[in-house]
Chains A and B, each alone.
Chain A
Amino acid sequence: MKQQSPEELLAKIEQAKLVGRGGSGYSTAIKWKEMFLKHHETIYMAVNGSEGEPGTLKDGYILASYLEELLRGINTAYTIFPQTQTIYLYLRKDYFKTYEKQINELVKATYPHLPLVVFEEPGGYLCGENTVLVNAIEKQRLEPRKKPPYISEMGILGKPTIVNNVETFYQIGKIANGAYHDTRLYSISGAVPNPGVFEAPNTITVSDLLKQTNNGIEKTAFLILGGGASGVYLTQDELATTGANKGTGAIIVFDSSTCTFLSHLKEKLSFLIQENCGKCTPCREGVYRLHEMIVNSAWDQARATDIARVLAKTSFCGLGVGAGNSLLSLFDKKDTIWKQ
Chain B
Amino acid sequence: METVTMTVNGKSVTAEKGQQLLAFLRGQDIHIPALCYHSDFKAEENCRLCLVEVNGKVVTSCSVRIKEGMIVQTDTEEIKELRRVNTELLLANYCGDKNILEKTLLGEIARKAGASDKTGFSSRKKTQEPFNFENIVTYDLTKCIDCRNCIKACQSQSVCAVTVKDYGYNEHIAKQTNRSCVYCGQCLTHCPSGAISINTAMYDEVKSLLVKKQDKPVMVAQVAPAVRAAIGEAFGLPYGTIATEQLTESLKKLGFDFVFDTSVAADLKTIEEAKELVERLQKKKDIPMFTSCCPGWVRYMQVYFPKLLPLLTTVYSPQIMMGGLIKTYWAKNKGIPKENIHVVSIMPCVAKKWEAQQPHNTIDGVKRVDTVITTAEIAQMMKEKGIDINSLKGIPMDSPLGKPTGAGVLFGASGGVMIAALRSAVFLLTGKNPELADFEEIKKLDGYKTMVVNTPLRPLSVAVIDGLGNVGKIMTSLSEFDYIEIMACRGGCIGGGGQPVPVNDEIRKKRAQSLFQIDTNSSIRFAHDNPDIKTLYKEFLTDEKIIHSICHNK
Which residues on A are within 8 Å of B, measured CB to CB?
A: 141-143, 146, 273-282, 284-289, 292, 298, 303, 306-307, 309-310, 313-316
**In the complex the two chains form, is A278's CB within 8 Å of B89's CB?**
no
**In the complex the two chains form, is B82's CB within 8 Å of A292's CB?**
no
Output the least CB separation between A55 and chain B (Å): 21
Output the least CB separation between B119 and chain A (Å): 7
**In the complex the two chains form, is B89's CB within 8 Å of A282's CB?**
yes
**In the complex the two chains form, is A310's CB within 8 Å of B85's CB?**
yes
Contact with A along B96-140 (1 / 0, CB 8 A): 000000000000000000000001110010000000000000000
Q: A276-B168, A285-B92, A313-B78 are in contact. List 11 more A-B contacts (CB 8 A).
A: A278-B166, A278-B168, A281-B48, A282-B85, A282-B89, A285-B169, A306-B85, A309-B85, A310-B82, A313-B58, A316-B46
A142 to B51, CA, bound (A): 25
Asked whether A278 and B82 contact (CB < 8 A) given A289-B89, A316-B45, A316-B46, the answer is no
Chain B residues near A315: list those with CB within 8 A. Answer: 48
**Other-chain residue from A141, A143, A310 in contact with B89 (beta carbon distance below 8 A):** A310
Chain A residues near B90: list those with CB within 8 A. Answer: 281, 285
B513 within 8 A of A: no
Contact with A along B45-73 (1 / 0, CB 8 A): 11111010000001010010000000000
| A123 to chain B: closest residue by CB | B167
**In the complex the two chains form, is A307's CB within 8 Å of B82's CB?**
no
**In the complex the two chains form, is B89's CB within 8 Å of A286's CB?**
yes
Output the least CB separation between B166 and chain A (Å): 7
B93 within 8 A of A: yes
Chain A residues near B476: list those with CB within 8 A. Answer: none
A307 to B121, CA, bound (A): 13
Jot down 7 A-B pairs with beta carbons below 8 A, ordered by A: A146-B44, A276-B168, A276-B169, A277-B171, A280-B48, A292-B121, A314-B58
Interface size classification for chain B: 20 to 34
**In the complex the two chains form, is B93's CB within 8 Å of A279's CB?**
no
Contact with A along B137-179 (1 / 0, CB 8 A): 0000000001000000000000000001011111100000000
Output the least CB separation between A277 and chain B (Å): 6
A332 to B290, CA, bound (A): 67
**In the complex the two chains form, is B48's CB within 8 Å of A278's CB?**
no
B86 within 8 A of A: yes
Asked whether A277 and B167 contact (CB < 8 A) given A289-B121, A313-B82, A316-B48, the answer is yes
Output the least CB separation between B89 and chain A (Å): 4
| B51 to chain A: closest residue by CB | A314
**In the complex the two chains form, is B168's CB within 8 Å of A277's CB?**
yes
Chain B residues near A280: list those with CB within 8 A. Answer: 45-48
A315 to B124, CA, bound (A): 20
Chain A residues near B169: list those with CB within 8 A. Answer: 273, 276, 278, 284-285, 287-288
| A144 to chain B: closest residue by CB | B45
Chain B residues near A306: list those with CB within 8 A. Answer: 81, 85
